[in-house]
Amino acid sequence: MARSKRPAMSPAETEVLPLVWQSQEATVQQVHEALPSNRKVTYVTIATLLRRLEEKGYLRHHARGKAFVYGPAAKKEDVIRRTISDLVERLFGGNPVPLMQHLAQHSGISDEDIERLKGLGKKK
């Protein structure tokens, strides 16, 4: 298997990448507008973050008119998996159960939500 080893994303980058994912593709402006209201940074800052994400291998872009349209260069699933397993690694030495427990008790997740999780792990 090809372990790509993209440089890790910084916190700010980790916040911006999902905003691109959620529309498959997005211009700087769209991402800028999609920012939560409590997070005010300038358009230029977003442009920088997207550029850096591209340098790191998470995004790619092509021009459309005068603007750049950014889209994923790495599979969302993989990026998320990596991000989470890195956290689990650091915080819990690699054991994901404590994280599940934590979520179950501090995230307002219902037993119904939990019930629905069963069976997801079945490897095809």
Partner DNA sequence: TGACACCTATGACAGATGTCATATATTAGT
Partner DNA sequence: ACTAATATATGACATCTGTCATAGGTGTCA
Q: Which residues bind DNA (CB under 7 A)?
A: 7-13, 27-29, 40-45, 47-49, 51-52, 65-68
Decide if residue 104 touches a copy of itself (CB under 8 A): yes
Return the number of the residue (55 or 89) whose C-beta is nearest a copy of itself.
89
Return the number of the residue (55 or 113) whose C-beta is nearest a copy of itself.
113
User: At a CB cut-off of 8 Å and minimum separation 6, what does 70 contact?
Assistant: 20, 25, 26, 27, 28, 31, 50, 53, 54, 59, 60, 61
Helix (H, G, I), strand (E, B) or coil at 121: coil
Helix (H, G, I), strand (E, B) or coil at 87: helix
Decide if residue 103 touches a copy of itself (CB under 8 A): yes
From CA 58, how far away is CA 7, in angstroms rounded? 9
> Please, are residues 58 and 73 in contact by the beta-carbon 8 Å criterion?
yes
CB of 53 to a copy of itself, least distance (A): 13
Decide if residue 119 touches a copy of itself (CB under 8 A): yes
Note the residues at the interface with a copy of itself (CB under 8 A): 8, 11, 14-15, 18, 36, 80-81, 83-84, 86-93, 96-97, 99-111, 113-115, 117-121
